[in-house]
């Protein structure tokens, strides 16, 4: 039995019974492109076997360095953007309580992210936050020249040197970068920073199970052994192209069937606030993988039930361009009883004897029925809990699903040529040497 359950039962009015079997031949072809390396972008498939084929010595060094950071730092500043940031942030949030950072009894090193924007206010406020505290830096960049993280690295490296001196600052800088090339690798070789490798065959949005994500996750207290075991389980379960056996491939096929019927926007939805960043990671994974050649499903997200009070009206009665995929936690980390109230002024007496998660689940069921009745197709990915094992499985589930989905739509799921356009224009406006108006 599959570890995660894909519930597509509510798609019966949107997808005819013959359509999924008729997708099987296309899925078989996409699977060959992915598994045999015959598809576009085939040199970026190293993530496919990462859960079983990774550098175990480096993995142990990550755990050792995480313990060192926990022992000498109140903060770890992780500097990166895109895939060098979203996966780690998503996992740290997923694996911890909503208010861990504010809990005074929690002495765990706080993992803070920078270099993911060009906001001067954010950088100023973060410098004020760490003032008087011990901190270390994890700089994550394959090239070492990406503008946002490079600017942040200059700023926080200067603070490190001011606070600890040049020699001790070196011991508090951990770099995750290319094995041989790039400005950051050159600096590592010159300065002697502790460093980890971003594998050449893995693009940023697929890199969360590499040192890019593993070091911050481990520093936060996440169990990276269980994370990799969960991903390993997914690798074992999700290699059969049979759509009756492989939930990730079935999800890819169903979203493509719906896309071809005009449902061009997919909302990834959750019912747990600590999964907001999971949706942000998923949006990069899907948008950067599929949005090419004037094709692709537009990725969006909603955090429920909160967003039902803002987006709910549009979802229910707006344009019929939306499909929804819910990631539903069957057993949340905690549950809370609803108290008794004699006066019943809030009219909640009918909920007494139940828990908050019971109400949350009934809300989910009511939303699915309302949206389905209103003409919005809804799928649900049911996950058992919020453990590191489950997260590892879930990461791999979506990675392989989106890779297959990209090939089904005839695009290279592993490149991102459009991302470079804004950078070129920005460099021209900033008068960067070598960049001029066309």
**Catalytic residue numbers, as ranges:** 288, 423
Q: What does the longest C-alpha to C-alpha distance in the chain come to?
A: 74
Asked if residues 321 and 340 have their Cβ atoms less than 8 Å apart, the reply is no
Q: Going by C-beta distance under 8 Å and a sequence separation of 6 or more, which residues neighbour residue 424? A: 435
> Which 8-state DSSP code applies to residue 297?
P
Quote the CA–CA distance of 262 and 225 in Å, as a whole number: 42
Quote the CA–CA distance of 22 and 134 in Å, as a whole number: 59
**Residue 135: strand pairing partners:** 75
Pairing of strands 378-383, 5-7: antiparallel
Residue in 109, 8, 92, 85 with CA at minimum distance from that of residue 386: 92
Quote the CA–CA distance of 409 and 267 in Å, as a whole number: 19
Q: Going by C-beta distance under 8 Å and a sequence separation of 6 or more, which residues neighbour residue 216? A: 76, 78, 88, 89, 91, 92, 111, 138
Quote the CA–CA distance of 122 and 114 in Å, as a whole number: 8
């Amino acid at each position: 039995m599959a570890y995660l359950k894909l519930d597509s039962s509510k798609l019966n009015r949107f997808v005819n019974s013959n359509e999924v079997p008729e997708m099987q031949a296309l899925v078989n072809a996409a699977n060959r492109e992915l598994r045999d390396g015959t598809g576009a972008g085939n040199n970026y498939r190293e993530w496919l076997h990462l859960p079983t084929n990774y550098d175990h010595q480096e993995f142990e060094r990550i755990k050792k360095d995480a313990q060192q950071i926990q022992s000498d730092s109140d903060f770890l500043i992780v500097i990166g953007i895109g895939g060098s940031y979203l996966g780690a942030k998503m996992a740290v949030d997923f694996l911890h309580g909503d208010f861990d950072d504010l809990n005074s009894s929690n002495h765990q090193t706080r993992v803070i992210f920078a270099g993911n924007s060009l906001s001067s206010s954010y950088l100023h406020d973060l410098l004020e936050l760490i003032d008087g505290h011990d901190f270390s830096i994890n700089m994550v960049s394959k090239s070492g020249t990406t503008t946002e993280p490079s600017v942040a690295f200059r700023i926080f490296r200067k603070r490190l040197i001011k606070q600890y001196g040049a020699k001790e600052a070196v011991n508090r800088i951990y770099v995750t970068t290319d094995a041989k090339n790039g400005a950051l690798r050159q600096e590592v070789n010159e300065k002697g920073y502790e460093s980890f490798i971003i594998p050449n065959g893995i693009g940023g949005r697929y890199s969360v199970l590499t040192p890019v994500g593993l070091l911050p996750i481990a520093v936060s207290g996440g169990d990276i052994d269980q994370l990799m075991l969960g991903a390993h389980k997914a690798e074992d379960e999700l290699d059969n192209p049979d759509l009756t056996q492989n939930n990730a491939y079935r999800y890819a096929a169903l979203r493509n069937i719906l896309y071809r019927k005009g449902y061009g926007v997919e909302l990834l939805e959750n019912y747990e606030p600590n999964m907001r960043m999971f949706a942000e990671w998923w949006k990069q994974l899907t948008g950067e993988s599929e949005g090419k050649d004037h094709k692709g499903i537009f990725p969006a997200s909603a955090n429920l039930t909160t967003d039902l009070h803002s987006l709910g009206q549009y979802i229910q009665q707006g344009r019929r361009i939306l499909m929804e995929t819910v990631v539903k936690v069957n057993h949340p980390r905690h549950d809370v009883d609803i108290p008794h109230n004699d006066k019943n002024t809030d009219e909640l007496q009918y909920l007494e004897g139940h828990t908050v998660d019971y109400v949350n689940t009934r809300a989910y069921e009511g939303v699915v029925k309302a949206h389905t009745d209103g003409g919005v197709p809804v799928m649900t990915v049911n996950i058992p809990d919020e453990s590191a094992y489950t997260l590892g499985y879930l990461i791999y589930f979506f990675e392989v699903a989106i890779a297959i989905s990209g090939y089904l739509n005839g695009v290279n799921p592993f490149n991102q040529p459009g991302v470079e356009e804004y950078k070129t224009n920005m460099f021209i406006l900033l008068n960067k040497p070598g960049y001029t108006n066309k």
